[in-house]
Structure formats: structure tokens, C-alpha cells
Amino acid sequence: MIRVGQLLLVVAAVALWVASRLPWVAVTSFDGLGQPKTVTLSGASWSNALLPLAVLLLAAAVAGLAVRGWGLRAVAVLVGVVTLLLGYLGISLMVMPDVGPRAAELAQVPVWSLVGSQRHYPGRRWWWRRRWLRWSRRCS
């Protein structure tokens, strides 16, 4: 059972690494002098904690080989806390009403030149599409 848990920790670490490489937010600015400029922010630039947390999950998977007893339980509690933190990071992007000011700050674009911002979250789009399909089947 511990081996399955270690495999799942490695899969979660790889998923975090992939999430840090994917685009999360695109911000468009126009200063009136040239063409509008669009800057895409990846997950690593939006949330600096993704890569260190992925490394922590990998370290926890390796620690499962070396630690037994109470030490393994302490590692499990640490992984649980990290999982809660990751959930907070994911939900905070979805419920944030306007990502424009933070995206402009991260892209080093003046807020006054901000034209628009767009979020990229394929997982949420897939979840809502699936939910809509279930609802439409019930109604028809």
C-alpha cells in the first residue's frame, strides 16, 4: 500500500510541474504608442509555490522508503498540509474576481495601460462541461 502512495505522490509532483509550465493568465496592455501587447503568465510565474511543493512531494515519496513508524506518520501529516495548500492555490485563481491587477504587476505592465485579462484553466472548463452535459441529459 505504501508503494501505491509513493507512486501517487510522484504523479502529483509531475502534475504540479506540468501545471507550472501551462499558461494560467494572459494580460493585454496598450500604451497608445504601438500595437497592443499580450503577455502570458505561466503557473510558475503566477504561483511561485508550485515547483517547491512538487519537489516536496517527490521528497515525501522517497522518504517513504527510508522512514517507518512515527516518522512516516509525520511525513503523511506534512503531505496532508501541503495538499490543503495546493487546494487553496487552485481555488484562489478560480474565485478571484479580477486577475488583471495582479497579472499586470507580475508581467511588469502599468495598470493604467491594462486592456484586458483572460484566465486559462482547462480543468475547470472540462468540469463545467461535464456538469452541463449531465444536467442537459436530465432535462431532456
Q: What is the mean predicted confidence (pLDDT) over 55-60? A: 88
Q: Is the pLDDT confidence value at 127 over 60? A: no
| pLDDT tens-digit map of 20-40 | 888 888 889 888 888 988 888
Record the pTM: 0.72
pLDDT band at 103 (very low <50, low <70, confident <90, very high): confident
pLDDT of residue 128: 53
User: How open is the CA angle 106-110-115, to the nearest 5 degrees?
Assistant: 95
Secondary structure element (H or E) that encloses residue 27, with its range: strand 23-29
pLDDT of residue 14: 92
- Look at residues 3, 26, 6 and name the one whose alpha carbon lies nearest to residue 79: 6
